[in-house]
Amino acid sequence: MLWFILAILTALAMSSEGAWLKKYFSHLDPYEMGMASIIYSLPLFAIAMILIPHPPLPHQFWAAFLGTFVLNGIAYFLYVRAIQISPLSLTIPYLAFTPAFMIFTGRILLDEEPSPLGIAGILVSLAGGYLLNLDVTKWSPLEPLRAALRERGSRHMLVVAVIYSVSSVLDKKAILHSSPIFFGIFFYIVFAPTLFILLLLGQKISWDFWLRNPGKGIVAGLLVFAHSVFHVWALSLTKAAYMISVKRLSILFSVIYGWIIFGESNMAARLGGAVLMMLGAVIIALAG
């Protein structure tokens, strides 16, 4: 059950990072807000890169690494664009579809086939993650379809969910041909500076934005580092679809943060979604 504990810690680190950024960096441009934690995490990744063993890297590693590198870059820009142009309640819930898509991508790329019990857990968790973010005052059985057709942001986020279903499987493939910790650290060492340079050249961020809140930025960087290490470690120990399904409990943790820190309402209405997500996680744990 180590993978399950690590997946929970991944979800907690991910949601904590989001809440921390929202509380202390939401005054920044969305691109700067998104990059703040990544920039502050780089020194930790650089130190870790020096200290960890470097395994031999066959061509299978490089093929998987290049694939997930490109896909994560595309997903990042689509994600930021989605939350810019549409309400969070009509965008974030679509990320719950990622594990469902991974039933197919995991089978194709990794020959991983979840058991019937595992698939049931994934679908229950998916339903809970989606219900968790729906506005029940506007909900109808056709609202998800209407939102996807009506909102460009919803369509963008659905594409992001599909991309993550492929990139997460490629992450596991790269891990299998290297080591969990090496891949998690090496990926960020390459990905973060590349993304920073592209945003700088595209004039989406200023070069010195990260100097504005150094103390709070260090905390954000620590959360990113923890998220990355827990993610790749858990991913190496179980089926990719199982791990990502449990990681989506970050949606539940985010709602709790929203209630406690930001005073968001409708907690009673979201209880059903939370219960479904927890039930789905328990089913997946039993299957895994």
Instruction: Tell me the mean pLDDT in the region 91-99.
Output: 78
**Is the alpha carbon torsion for 78, 146, 139, 95 positive or negative?**
negative
The tens digit of pLDDT for each residue in 103-156 reads 888 888 888 888 888 888 888 887 776 776 666 555 565 665 665 667 788 788
Predicted TM-score of the model (pTM):
0.83
Question: What value does the mean pLDDT of the chain take?
Answer: 83
Residue with tokens 């664009």: 81
Burial class (CB in 10 A: 0-12, 13-18, 19+), 163: buried
The tens digit of pLDDT for each residue in 214-252 reads 888 899 899 999 999 999 999 999 888 889 888 888 877
Instruction: Tell me the mean pLDDT in the region 50-54.
Output: 91
Higher pLDDT, 67 or 247: 67
Q: Which of 12-26, 113-127, 180-194 has the highest mean pLDDT?
A: 180-194
Task: Give the pLDDT confidence score for residue 49 in this predicted structure.
Answer: 93
Instruction: Tell me the mean pLDDT in the region 208-214.
Output: 71
Judge whether residue 176 has pLDDT over 70.
Answer: yes
Task: Give the pLDDT confidence score for residue 6 in this predicted structure.
Answer: 95
CB 275 within 8 Å of CB 268: no
Instruction: Tell me the mean pLDDT in the region 14-21.
Output: 86
**C-alpha distance from residue 29 to each of 8, 50, 52, 230 (Å):** 30, 33, 35, 28
Task: Give the pLDDT confidence score for residue 266 in this predicted structure.
Answer: 64
For the chain, the domains span 2-287
Task: Give the pLDDT confidence score for residue 145 in this predicted structure.
Answer: 60
Task: Count other Cβ atoms within 10 Å, centred on residue 143.
Answer: 14
Task: Give the pLDDT confidence score for residue 127 in this predicted structure.
Answer: 79
